[in-house]
Amino acid sequence: MQDQAPRQRGRFSESKKDHPMAGFILKRLLQAVFVVLAVTLIVSFAIRLSGDPAIMLMGGGNVTEQDLQNIRQALGLERPFFVQYLDFLEGMITGDFGKSFMGGTPVSMLIANALPATLLLAFTSLIVSIVLSVPLGVYAAVNRGRWPDQMIRILSLVGLSFPNFWLAIMMVLLFSIVLGLLPPSGMEGPESFVMPALTMAIILTATNVRLVRTSMLETLSQQYIMVARSKGLRDRVVLYKHALRNSAIPLVTYIGLQFGGLIGGIVIIERVFNWPGMGTLAFDAISNRDYPVLQGTITVLALFIVLINLLVDIAYGLIDPRIRTE
Amino acid sequence: MHVSSAPSREHGWMSDTANRRSQDQALLSVRSLSVEFGKGEGAFRAVKDVSFDVQPGKTLAVVGESGSGKSVTSLAIMRLTDYTGGRITGGQVLFRPDGGEARDLVKASDAKLREIRGNDIAMIFQEPMTSLNPVFTIGNQISETLILHQGLGGRDARQRAKELLQKVRLPDADKLLDRYPHQLSGGMRQRVMIAMALACNPKLLIADEPTTALDVTIQAQILNIIRDLQQEMGTAVIFITHDMGVVAEMADDVVVMWKGEKVEQAPVRDIFAAPQHPYTRALLSAVPRLGSLKGQPFPKRTPVMVMDGGVAKPVGETHEQNTADYTKPILQVDKLTTRFDVGKTFFGRVTHRVHAVEEVSFDIYPGETLALVGESGSGKSTIGRTLQQLVEPTGGTVRFDGRDMAAMSQGERRRLRQEIQYIFQDPFASLDPRHTVGYSIAEPIIVHGLINDRKERDRRVHELLEQVGLQPQHAKRYPHEFSGGQRQRVCIARALASNPKLVIADESVSALDVSIQAQIVNLLMELQERKRLSYLFITHDMAVVEKISHRVAVMYLGQIVELGTRRAIFENPQHSYTRKLLSAVPIADPQRERAKTRIEGEIPSPVRPVGQEPAIHRMREVEPGHWVAIETDQLRGAA
Amino acid sequence: AGTLTTAVAIDPGSWDPIDTFLVDWSSAANNIFDGLTARGADMKLKPGLATSWEFLDNNSRIRFKLRQNVKFHNGEPFNAEAVKFTFDRLLGEEGRKGPQQSNYNSIDHVEVVDDSTVDFVMKQPDPVLLTKLAGYGGMIVPPKYIQEKGDAYFNMNPVGTGPFKFAEYTPKVSLTLEAFPEHWGGAPKLDKVVTRFISEANTQVAELQAGRIDVATLIPFGLAPTVEKSPNLSLISITGPTVVALRLNTKEGITKDVNVRKALIMGIDRDAIIKAVLLGHAKPIASFQSDLSFGYDPSMKPLPFDLAKAKQMLQQAKVPAGAPVRIDFRGNDATFREVAQAAAGFLQALGLKPSLQPHEPPVLLNDIIPNGKTGEAWHNAWGGWTFDYDNTAYLMYHSGEKWNPYDNDPKLNALLEKQRTMYDVKEREKVLQEIARYVADQALEIPLYNQNTLYGVNKRVKNFDAPSDRRFRFTETTVE
Amino acid sequence: MAAAQAVSSARRHFRSLELVLGLLLTVGMGLAVLFSGILFPDGGESMDLMARLTPPFQSLAHPLGTDPLGRDVLARVIVGGQISLTVGVLSVVGAVIVGTIVGLVAGYYRGIAEVLLMRFADIQLALPFILLAIMFLAILGTGIDKIIFFMVVAQWVQYARLVRGSVLALRDREFILSARAIGVGNGRIIFTHILPNVLGPIVILMTLNVANNILLESSLTFLGLGVDPLIPSWGGMLADGRTYLQTAWWVSVFPGLAIMFTVLGLNLLGDWLRDLLDPTGQTSR
Ligand SMILES: Nc1ncnc2c1ncn2[C@@H]1O[C@H](COP(=O)(O)OP(=O)(O)OP(=O)(O)O)[C@@H](O)[C@H]1O
Ligand SMILES: Nc1ncnc2c1ncn2[C@@H]1O[C@H](COP(=O)(O)OP(=O)(O)OP(=O)(O)O)[C@@H](O)[C@H]1O
Ligand SMILES: [Mg+2]
Ligand SMILES: [Mg+2]
C-alpha cells in the first residue's frame, strides 16, 4: 500500500501534463461536490429550524401531541438531525431523494417532471436575452455617447425598475386579456413559453446590454480592432467576429453568475405563470415544510448552478485560447 | 510659423517643376491634410496642413516627437481616423495605385475604402503584442485578408499564408498557422504582422513604429525583413519612427513633423547632413551616437538642444562625470539567485521554474553608475526588484553599506526602502492615477516619517519638483495631465524624496523621445554629481549606456556574461553576445555602411523543469576589472 | 357532454382520502369518492353509500345499511368489507401517518354485520361523526385495489365509487377525471372534469377571463369587481364556512382587560369594513361561527360600532394614548391584508398605535400562535368544515389547545367538555349557544365577519350548484 | 491648462442629459421623501373607506387618487419612499462595507481568507436567493431590520468578489509595486491606493443593487413576507396593488413609476459619479 502511493501520484501528474484541462476539471468537480454538499447541509438545517412539518401536515386542525408524535415517527423526524442528513445523502447518491411529506410522491419523480420545465424556461430566456442584448449592446457601444446609446442605456434602466411579477402580470393583461393572443399561464404549446421567457429575458437583458456595451467599448479600443479595420474588413465582421468574441468572456462569466439569480427569479415567474417547474416545487416545499422535496430540489438546482459555472469555465477555453493552452 | 514658405526650404530639394512631375508619378500625394478631434471649443487639430508625396518603391520616413501627429497622419491616409473620433477637416489624399487616375481617399466611399485597405495599402502598427487578435489563430488572421481581397478559397489562402510566414523567415510555418498570438514572442508576432500586411502585395505599406517595442537584435531582424521584402515586391513604405538610427538605415526621404505640422522634408542624407528646421536640429543633437565617447574614461554630460517657442536652445553644459568613489562599495551582490515557480501539479508540486537570475555577483560604489544591459527576459528587472525587496531571492547575499540584507530586522528592511529607490520603466503605470503627483511625491516622506509638518512637506515637494525641472504648481495635477517626459521627472522626484543613496532606474528612459531622453539622462547625471547618488541603470539601449555609465554588466539568460568599465565593454567587447548587442544598434548616420551581419534566432527560454539547473558560467578576468564568461556551446549556439 | 375545467390553489399531492386536510383536495376528490353519508350544496346531510343509519346500544353503536349494487371504478364491488377496510386503514398504521385519523378517533372499530350492513362501535360519543363521514378521511376506498397495488400507487391513481373516475394526474399541473356512467346516482352529464392547480389569484382570474377555466375558486375580494365586470363571467358569492376574527391576547398587554377588549370590538366599524373592503361579500358575526353552523344563535347580536363609547372605555381602563396593538397575520392572505389595515385604521382613530406583522403561514401556525408569541391580537380565519360550533369552540377556547395559547377558564372548559358527551341535539345546541355567549361576554376575540365563498364562473357553465364549502359534485353540471 | 480642461469636462458633464436627469430625479425624489413628514403629516395613513379607489387627476385632495382603503396615493408614494430608500440604501451600504473589507483582505493577502471567500461565494451562488430569503425570514421573522440584514448577508459576497477581482488586477500593477518599493505599508497601500481604484465598479454595482433591493422588498411582499403593510413602501404598494390592475391601475402604477424614476436617477448619477471618481476619465462609460 505504502509503496504504491507515490507511483500512483507519479502517474497522475504524468497524465496531467498531457491534459492540462483534466486536472482543472477534476479540481472544479471536487469543488462542485463540496458546494453541493454544503448547500444541502445548510438548507436541510435551516428548514428544520423554521418549522415542524408535522403541524403543517395536520393542517392545524384537531391535533394532539400524540398525533404529531405519530406523524413525526412515520416521517422519521424524531431521529437526530445528522442521522436524517446522512440518510438523505445516502439516498441522494442513488438518486433517491425520498418521498414528499405531502402525499408521498417520490421526490425524484416530482423533480423529473419539474426540472425540464425550469431548464427549458431558463435557457429560453437566457437565449432570448442574449439575442436581444448583444446587438443592442454592440449598437450602443459603436454609437457611444450619441442618442441611440443614451436611449438604449435609459431603456435598460427602465427594464430594471419593475419587479418581475409586476411585469409578468402586465404582460398577461396585455397579451392574454386585451389581445387574447397567448395563454395566461401553464406550460402547453410553444406559445405558452413566450410570456414567461420574455419577462425573464427583459430583466436579464437590462443588465446584459450594459455589460455587452462596456466590454465592447473596452475591446473596440484595442489595437487589433484597428488592425482588422486596416485590412478592409466590413464593420459587421470587425464587430461580430473580431470584437464580440473578445467581449464574450465577461459576458459568459456574468451569465454563469446570473444563472443562480435566474433560478431565484424563476420562483416568482413560475408562480405568476403557473409554470410547473422547480421554483414552484421548491416554494411549495418551503410553505409545507416538505423537507425531502426541498432538499431534493435545492440539491438539484445547486448542482445545475455549479454545473453551469463549470461549463462557463470550460467555455472560457473555447472562447479564449490563452486559457485553453496555458 | 510656416517653414514651408521659406525659400531655404528648397535647398537640396526638387525645383518646382520637378516637384510637379514627381507629384504626377507619386503613388500617394498627401495635400494639405488636416485632422481634428473633438467638437466646438474642445476641438483639437492634431494634424495641420500636412503635405508630402510617396514615390513607388521608395521609403519615406516620418519622424517627430511623441504627439506630433505621426500616427494620426498615417491613420488618416487610410481614413481609419473615422473610427477614433477624428475628422479630416481639409485636404486630399490622392492615391494612384496603378499610375492611372488619382483617387482622393478623403472622398472615397466606404466600400471603395474597404477595397483599398489591406489590399493596396496595408499597415503595421506599433505594438506587436496587441496588434493580433488573441482569440484567432495566426492562420485565420492572415487568410482573412486573402479570402477577402483575393477571393482565395480556404485551402489556397492557408497555403499562401504559409508561404508568407516563410517569407518573413518564421520557422515551422505550417505549425505556426494553427498557433495563437500569445504563444509567440514579440518578435515573432511582429513578423506575423508583416506577413499579414504584405499578404496582398500592397503598393504602399505604412509601418507605424514597427520596432519601437522590440529588443535591438529583434529590431535589426525586422528591419532587414522589411527592407528585403520591399526590394522584392517593389512596395513603397511610409516608415514612422522617432529613432534616428532607424531612419538612417531605412529611409530614402524624411518628413519631420512637429506639433502637427510638417516642418521639413528632404532626402535622408540631407536631413542628417544639413538639417534646416530648428526642431530637426534639436532632434539630431539629442540622438545618442554609439561610439561618441570613444577613448574617454568617464561618462559625459553634453548640452541638449531644446525647443523653446520655435527656436532650439542649448540647455546644460559639458561636464565630465567623475563622481565615483571606489574606496568602499555601497552595494555588494554575491551569487544572487532568484527563481520563480511556475507549472504546478494538481497537488501543488512545482514542476517548472523560471531561472530569472542565476548566481549574479557585482558591486556598486558611491557616486557610480553601473549599467545592466541585456535583452528582454534576461533577468535585469528581477535583479532590481530583488534588491528593492519586491521579490524574494532564492539564494546569494546582498550587502548594503556592509550590512547583510538577509540578517536585517523588519525595521531595518523598511529603512532600506528609503535608502534604495526604484524608478520604473513606465512612468504612467507607476503613478497612481487617482492621486495628484504632489501626493505621490510626498508619500515616501510621509511613510518614512521624514517630515511631519504639512507645510514643510509641501515645501519639500515643491523643491523636488524644481530639482527635476518642473514647477511647484504641478503638484496639484494628476498623472494623466502630464507628458511622458514630465511624468518620468515626477517619478525621479519621488525617488529622490527620501534622500536615497542608491537609485535603481529600470528602463527609465527607454520609452521617451530622444530629446526628452537626453534631458532626463542629463538630469540623472546632474543629480548624481550633486548628491553622490549611485545608480543601477537597467536598459537595453547601448547608446544610452555609453553616455551614462561608469561600468557595464551584460546579462544573458539570467547570468552576467561580461562585466567591465564602460570603455572596456564598448571598445574591447570580449563576449560574442556583447558584440552581437553592439552590432545590432542602428547607427544614426546614413553615410555609414549598413551592418552586414545577419542576426537570427531568439533567446532560449529561462523556464526549466525542476531538477535541470542551468550551468553556471565561469568568469575570467581579461584585464583588471574586466570579466568575461567562458563561452559554452549552448550559448554560442544561440548567439 | 363536454369538459369542465376548474382551478384550485393547491395540489394536494396525494388523492388518498386519509392523507389530506385540504379543501382543494375535496374540490376535486369529492367527485371521485363517496362517503357513507353525503352533504349537498345546501349543506344538508343526506344518504350516501349508506341508505340509512340508526343509533344502537345507548348511542355507542351506529348501524349503517349500505347501498346495493354499487361498484368501484375498477369494477370491484362495494360492500361491508370495503367499509371495514376503509376504517381499519384509517384508524390503523396507515392512518397514523396522515392528518385524518384524529378526526375519527371517536370510532373504536367497525364490525361487519352482513354484506350490506356495518356497525360502528364508538369509543366515545361524537355528535358530528355523521357529518365527518360525508367527506375527507371517511370516504370509502377499494380494498382489493389497494391491497394489490399498494398505498403509494393508490395515492397517484385513486379509485372510488364517485360519479367521476380518475384519468390522469400531473403533479402541480392538473388532475383529469372522466365520467363514470355506472355511478349509483346516475351518469354525470359531463365527459370530463379537469382540475388545474393555480396558486396565484391574478393568474386564476386571468385564466378565467381568457376562457381557459370555467370555475375559479381563488378570488381575493379585490379581484371580485374584475370578474363581475367581465361580460362572459359571473361572480357567485354565497355564505361560506369561513369566519374571520381577531383573537385577543388575554394574558398580556392592554388586551388583558376585558373592557379594553370590548372597547376594541366597538371601536372597529365591522360593517364599514364589510361594505368597503369586502364589497359586501361577507356578513357580520357575533360569535366565531357562520349561520350555517350548528350552535349558531340568531338572537345574538354583535356589539355595535361606537367610537365615542370605545374611547371612553379605553380612558376608563387607563389605556395610555399610543398604546401598541400588534396584529399578527398570514402574510399571503391578500384580502385580510386590507382588512387588517382597515381595522388598524380604526384602532388608530381610537388613539392606539397599531402595527401589523405579516408571517409566513407555517411560522404563524407552528410557532407564533401555539407558543404564545403573538402581539395583542392575531388573525384567525377558520373554516369549520363540519359546520358544528364544537369543532371551532373546543379548539379555540379549551385550555391547553394549540389555538388557545393564553386563556384558561375553568367554566369555559367545563362547558366545552360537557357538550362533547351529549347526543341530545337540542340540549347540545343550547350549550353551544351558551358557550358562544360566554365567549362574547368575555370578549375573547373581535368577531369580524363570516366571509362569503366566491366563485368566478364562466357563463357557459349551466346547472352549477355552487357549494359553500367548495366540495364540488359535478353530476348535474353541463357546459355549452 | 489643467483647470481649463477640468472646467470644460465639467461643462461637458453638466450638459449631458444623464446628469441633469439623474440629478433632477434623485434630488427631487430625495427632497420629497425627506420632507414627506412636513408635506403629509398623517404619514399617508388617514383612511376614508367611503372615498376608496378614487381615480387620479380628479380632485385636488387626491391628485393621484386613492387606494382600496381610501388613502391618498400621492401621500403614500412620497412617504413610502422612506422605507424603500432606507431598505435599498442601508442594505447596500451594509453589504458594501462588509464585502469591500473581505474582498480587500482576500485579494490582497490571498491565502486562507481568499480560499474561504471563494468557497463561500460558490455556496451562496448555488443557493437560489429567493428561496434563501423565504427560509431566512421564516426563521427570523419579518421586519424591515431583518430584511435589510438578510440583504446584507445575501449580497456582501457580490462586492467581495468584485473587490477581490479588482484587487487581484491591481495588485501587480506597477503603481502598487512602486508604492511598495517606496516603503509604503500594506494597510496604506490598501486604503490609499487600491480602494480608490476599485470604487468605480463598486459604485455601479451599488446603484444597480439599490434598485434591485427596492424591488426585492416588493417581491417579498408578493410572496407574503413583506413588512408591516401599515407602513407604506413602494414595493408593498406595488405588490398589493396587483389585484387592482384591471379596476384601479393607479394603485400600483404610481409606486411603480416612483421606483422607476429613482432607479433611473440613481443609476445615471452612479455612472456620472464613477466618471468623477476617475480623474483620468479613461474608464469607458
Ligand atoms: N482618438 C484621439 N482623440 C483625441 N486626440 C487624439 C486621438 N488620437 C490622437 N490624438 C492626439 O493627436 C495628437 C497626435 O497624436 P499621434 O498619435 O499622431 O502622435 P504620434 O506622433 O504618433 O506620437 P507617438 O510617437 O507618441 O506615437 C496627440 O496630441 C494626441 O493626443
Ligand atoms: N513574478 C514572476 N513570475 C514568474 N516569472 C517571472 C516573474 N517575474 C519575471 N519572470 C520571468 O523571469 C525572466 C526574467 O525577467 P525580467 O523581468 O527580470 O527580465 P528583463 O531582463 O528585465 O526583461 P525586460 O527587458 O523585458 O524587462 C523572464 O523570463 C520573466 O518572464
Ligand atoms: Mg504614434
Ligand atoms: Mg525589465
Region B86-97: what's the mean pLDDT? 90
**Which residues lie below 8 Å from residue B608, measured CB to CB, with a gap of 6+?**
B352, B353, B355, B614
- Asked whether B339 lines ligand 2 (CB < 6 A), one says no
What pLDDT score was predicted for residue C137? 87
Tell me the CA distances in angstroms from C446 to C260, C304, C376, C383, D49, one per residue in order. 11, 12, 11, 17, 20
Q: What stretch of H or E contains C429?
A: helix C425-442
What pLDDT score was predicted for residue D1? 40
Residue D8 confidence (pLDDT) above 60 = no
Positive or negative, the Cα torsion across A263, A265, A271, A272?
A: negative
Residue A324 or C436, more confident: C436
A217 — pLDDT class (breaks 50, 70, 90): confident
Positive or negative, the Cα torsion across C268, C270, C271, C276?
A: positive
For residue B110, tell me if it sits in a domain.
yes
Q: Closest-CA residue in chain B for A246?
A: B135
d(CA C453, CA C243) in angstroms, rounded, equals 11
- Total structural domains within chain A: 1
The Cβ of residue D147 has, within 10 Å, a number of other Cβ atoms equal to: 26
Q: Does residue D84 belong to the interface with chain A, where contact is any CB pair within 8 Å?
A: no
Give C457-472 pLDDT, tens digit per residue.
Answer: 999 999 998 888 888 9
Residue C94 confidence (pLDDT) above 80 = yes
User: Cell 496604506 sits at which residue?
Assistant: D188
Region B439-446: what's the mean pLDDT? 93
What pLDDT score was predicted for residue C72? 95
C281 — pLDDT class (breaks 50, 70, 90): very high
Residue B320 confidence (pLDDT) above 90 = no
Region C403-414: what's the mean pLDDT? 90
Q: What stretch of H or E contains B554?
A: strand B551-556
The boundaries of the domain holding residue A133 are 126-288
Enter the C-alpha cell of residue C160.
372510488
D44 min Cα distance to partner chain A (Å): 23
Q: Which of D52, D224, D242 lies at the smallest CB-CB distance from C360?
A: D224
D133 — pLDDT class (breaks 50, 70, 90): confident
- Total structural domains within chain B: 1
Q: Which of A16, A242, A246 lies at the smallest CB-CB distance from B345?
A: A16
* Ligand 1 pocket test, candidate residues B70, B238, B255, most atoms within 8 A of CB: B70
Q: Closest-CA residue in chain A for C21?
A: A59
Positive or negative, the Cα torsion across B129, B131, B135, B138?
A: negative
Number of A:D CB contacts under 8 A?
132
The boundaries of the domain holding residue B272 are 26-120+236-285
What pLDDT score was predicted for residue B15? 41
Give B558-604 pLDDT, tens digit per residue.
Answer: 999 999 999 999 999 999 889 988 888 888 887 776 555 566 666 67
What pLDDT score was predicted for residue D12? 52
Nearest to B9 by CA among B285, B252, B277, B310: B277
Nearest to B266 by CA among B56, B594, B58, B14: B14
The side-by-side arrangement of strands in the sheet containing B619-623 is: B420-423, B502-506, B534-539, B369-373, B551-556, B559-565, B626-629, B619-623
Residue C365 or C111, more confident: C111
User: Cell 459603436 sits at which residue?
Assistant: A142
Residue B3 contacts residue B277 (beta carbons within 8 Å) = yes
List CB contacts (< 8 A) between D188 and chain B: 447
d(CA B117, CA B203) in angstroms, rounded, equals 11
Q: Does residue B43 belong to the interface with chain D, where contact is any CB pair within 8 Å?
A: no
Which residue pairs from B521-526 have beta carbons closer than 8 angstroms and sit at least 24 positions apart in sequence? Answer: B521/B547, B521/B548, B522/B301, B522/B302, B522/B304, B522/B315, B522/B316, B523/B468, B523/B469, B523/B489, B523/B492, B524/B492, B524/B548, B525/B299, B525/B301, B525/B319, B525/B321, B526/B301, B526/B316
> What 3-state class would DSSP assign to A306?
helix
Judge C/B contact: 3 or more CB pairs < 8 A.
Answer: no
Please give the DSSP secondary-structure letter assigned to residue D236: H
User: Cell 511623441 sits at which residue?
Assistant: B66
* Ligand 2 pocket test, candidate residues B129, B353, B381, B422, most atoms within 8 A of CB: B381
What pLDDT score was predicted for residue A14? 33
C-beta atoms of A13 and B346 within 8 A: yes
Enter the C-alpha cell of residue C86.
376503509
Q: What is the CATH topology of the domain spanning D9-44+55-281?
A: MetI-like fold (1.10.3720)
Give A59-70 pLDDT, tens digit per residue.
Answer: 656 667 777 788
Closest ligand by atom to B76 CA: 1
d(CA C114, CA C81) in angstroms, rounded, equals 9
d(CA C107, CA C92) in angstroms, rounded, equals 12
Residue B16 confidence (pLDDT) above 70 = no
d(CA A134, CA A216) in angstroms, rounded, equals 10
What pLDDT score was predicted for residue B297? 83
Express as a percent the part of chain C with pLDDT over 70. Answer: 100
Express as a percent the part of chain B with pLDDT over 90. Answer: 38
C391 — pLDDT class (breaks 50, 70, 90): confident
- Asked whether B484 lines ligand 1 (CB < 6 A), one says no
Enter the C-alpha cell of residue C289.
361561527
d(CA D84, CA C53) in angstroms, rounded, equals 63
Residue C191 confidence (pLDDT) above 80 = yes
Give A143-157 pLDDT, tens digit per residue.
Answer: 887 888 888 988 888
Number of B:D CB contacts under 8 A?
77
Burial C197-221 (b: 16+ CB within 10 A, else e): bbbbbbbbbbbbbbebbbbbbbbbb
Strand B626-629, strand B311-315: pairing: unpaired
d(CA B499, CA B527) in angstroms, rounded, equals 11
C-beta atoms of D178 and B422 within 8 A: yes
Q: What's the mean per-residue pLDDT of chain B?
A: 86
C-beta atoms of D268 and A157 within 8 A: yes
C-beta atoms of A172 and C14 within 8 A: no
Residue C196 confidence (pLDDT) above 60 = yes
Q: Any idea which of A26-30, B382-386, C306-310 has the lowest mean pLDDT?
A: A26-30
**Side chain identity, residue B280:** T
What pLDDT score was predicted for residue D199? 85
pTM: 0.83
Burial B17-35 (b: 16+ CB within 10 A, else e): eeeeeebeebbbbbbebbb
What pLDDT score was predicted for residue B593? 64
What pLDDT score was predicted for residue D111? 81
- Asked whether B260 lines ligand 2 (CB < 6 A), one says no
List CB contacts (< 8 A) between C233 and chain D: none
Which atom from ligand 1 is nearest to the alpha carbon of B64? 21
Residues in chain B: 639
First to last CA, chain B: 50
Nearest to C77 by CA among C128, C31, C142, C138: C142
Region B398-414: what's the mean pLDDT? 89
**Side chain identity, residue B187:** G
C-beta atoms of D246 and A286 within 8 A: no
- Asked whether B75 lines ligand 1 (CB < 6 A), one says no
Q: What's the mean per-residue pLDDT of chain A?
A: 82
Interface test with B, best of D182, D198, D277 (most B CBs within 10 A): D182
Give D14-23 pLDDT, tens digit per residue.
Answer: 446 677 878 8
Residue A138 or B311, more confident: A138
| Residues forming beta bridges with residue C176, ordered by sequence position | C168, C194
Give D52-78 pLDDT, tens digit per residue.
Answer: 888 888 888 888 999 888 889 999 999
Residue B288 confidence (pLDDT) above 70 = yes
Domain boundaries, chain D: 9-44+55-281
Please give the DSSP secondary-structure letter assigned to residue B599: -
What pLDDT score was predicted for residue B552? 95
**Please, is C441 exposed, middle or buried when counting C-beta atoms within 10 Å of its C-beta (0-12, 13-18, 19+)?**
exposed
- Asked whether B46 lines ligand 1 (CB < 6 A), one says yes
Region D188-209: what's the mean pLDDT? 86
Residue A1 confidence (pLDDT) above 60 = no
What pLDDT score was predicted for residue A4? 33
For residue B51, tell me if it sits in a domain.
yes
For residue B80, tell me if it sits in a domain.
yes
Positive or negative, the Cα torsion across D231, A266, A305, A219?
A: negative
What pLDDT score was predicted for residue A12? 32
d(CA B413, CA C114) in angstroms, rounded, equals 104
Give me the DSSP letters along A156-199.
Answer: HHHHHSS-HHHHHHHHIIIIIIIS--S-SSSS-STHHHHHHHHH
* Domain harbouring A233, CATH code: 1.10.3720.10
List CB contacts (< 8 A) between A31 and chain D: 119, 122
* Ligand 2 pocket test, candidate residues B212, B214, B219, B340, most atoms within 8 A of CB: B340
* Domain harbouring B240, CATH code: 3.40.50.300
Give B356-375 pLDDT, tens digit per residue.
Answer: 999 999 999 999 999 999 88
What pLDDT score was predicted for residue A18? 41
Region A255-260: what's the mean pLDDT? 77
d(CA A211, CA C125) in angstroms, rounded, equals 72
Give B168-190 pLDDT, tens digit per residue.
Answer: 888 888 888 998 888 888 888 88
Query: Atom 10, ligand 1: which residue's CA is nearest?
Result: B46
Please give the DSSP secondary-structure letter assigned to residue D66: B
